[in-house]
């Protein structure tokens, strides 16, 4: 199959590209680094010529509801429009578990993306996953200094390679609409993940939990981002725990002997 991965240079995108290639697919990457800005969409019809599937794992780092909505709506509209002209038959996206009704901050953008896909012409699959194991570290990276403030919440983090495997399997399967959520193997306190990661990296920093205000804060505090094990269809579970991931990360980053 010929598959274009929008965001194929990102955290999950790069692993999707490797996994899809290992399964024998012909894969191309759509990203600014690869010469395509999906916000303006120029050159997209040519880039999608001959493609069967578009996997969209693009991202924007923002907590602004307006910026997130504008980004995901624009990118999705441009992709779907070009797909219609190029004859693409499957649009597959990665969204986030538990965001229904959370029209706030970043999640407003993801809901808007899902809505565009649901209303679009290309047959689609919407796959959701919980936060990646990298999530706590990404939040730590957004703050400087000896004190880091993390939202008070339970999460169920999942390994990026397992997300990539699931997306590759869904690309093979063809359009299926909304599919079962992929959730991590264990409930974790987000601030504890940050503390364990700092300890593993030998970094001294104080992590405090705070309750974020508004709809975003309520969503985080509720723990709903962990997903609903009793949902229908029930979730698919990842196997790699956060501590497995930390150990593998330490092994990979260890200097050669």
Interaction site with ligand NAP (CB under 6 A): 7, 9-13, 31-33, 36-39, 57-59, 94, 96, 110, 129, 131-132, 135
Burial class for 101, CB neighbours closer than 10 Å (0-12, 13-18, 19+): exposed
C-beta atoms surrounding 186 within 10 Å:
14
Write out the H or E segment, with its range, that includes residue 94.
Answer: strand 90-96
CB-nearer residue toward ligand NAP: 7 or 25: 7
Taking alpha carbons only, the member of 156, 230, 158, 151 closest to residue 187 is: 156
Q: Is 90 left (phi over 0), alpha (psi -120 to 50) or beta?
A: beta
Smallest gap from residue 8 Cβ to ligand NAP (A) = 6
CB-nearer residue toward ligand NAP: 31 or 122: 31
According to DSSP, the residues that pair with 92 across neighbouring strands are: 55, 125
Smallest gap from residue 129 Cβ to ligand NAP (A) = 4
CB-nearer residue toward ligand NAP: 109 or 148: 109
CB-nearer residue toward ligand NAP: 6 or 207: 6
Smallest gap from residue 1 Cβ to ligand NAP (A) = 21
Smallest gap from residue 235 Cβ to ligand NAP (A) = 13
According to DSSP, the residues that pair with 53 across neighbouring strands are: 3, 90
CB-nearer residue toward ligand NAP: 65 or 110: 110
Write out the H or E segment, with its range, that includes residue 163.
Answer: helix 160-173
CB-nearer residue toward ligand NAP: 38 or 51: 38
Tell how far CA 222 is from the center of its chain. 20
C-beta atoms surrounding 219 within 10 Å:
22
CB-nearer residue toward ligand NAP: 38 or 80: 38
Smallest gap from residue 57 Cβ to ligand NAP (A) = 4
- Pairing assessment for the beta strands 188-189 and 154-155 based on DSSP bridges: antiparallel
| Side-chain-facing half-sphere of 224: CA atoms under 13 Å | 14
Smallest gap from residue 256 Cβ to ligand NAP (A) = 27
From first CA to last CA, the distance across the chain in angstroms is: 41
DSSP 39: T
């Amino acid at each position: 199959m010929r598959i274009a991965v929008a965001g194929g240079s990102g955290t999950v995108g790069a692993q999707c590209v490797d996994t899809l290639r290992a399964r024998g697919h012909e894969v191309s990457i759509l990203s600014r680094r690869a010469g395509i800005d999906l916000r303006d969409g120029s050159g997209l019809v040519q880039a999608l010529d001959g493609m069967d599937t578009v996997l969209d794992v693009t991202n924007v780092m923002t907590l602004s509801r307006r910026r997130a909505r504008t980004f995901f709506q624009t990118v999705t509209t441009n992709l779907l429009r070009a797909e219609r002209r190029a004859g693409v038959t499957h649009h597959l996206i990665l969204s986030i578990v538990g965001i229904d009704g959370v029209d706030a901050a970043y999640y407003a953008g993801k809901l808007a993306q899902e809505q565009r896909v649901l209303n679009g012409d290309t047959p689609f699959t919407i796959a959701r996953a919980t936060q990646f194991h990298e999530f706590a570290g990404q939040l730590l990276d957004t703050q400087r200094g000896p004190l880091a403030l993390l939202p008070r919440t339970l999460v169920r983090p999942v390994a990026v390679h397992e997300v990539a495997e699931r997306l590759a399997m869904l690309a093979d399967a063809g359009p299926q609409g909304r599919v079962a959520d992929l959730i991590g193997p264990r409930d974790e306190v987000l601030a504890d993940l940050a503390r364990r990661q700092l300890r593993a990296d030998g970094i001294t920093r104080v992590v405090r939990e705070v309750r974020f205000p508004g709809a975003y804060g309520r969503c985080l505090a509720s723990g709903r981002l962990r997903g609903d094990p009793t949902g229908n269809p029930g979730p698919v579970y990842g196997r790699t725990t956060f501590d497995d991931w930390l150990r593998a990360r330490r092994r990979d980053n260890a200097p050669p002997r």
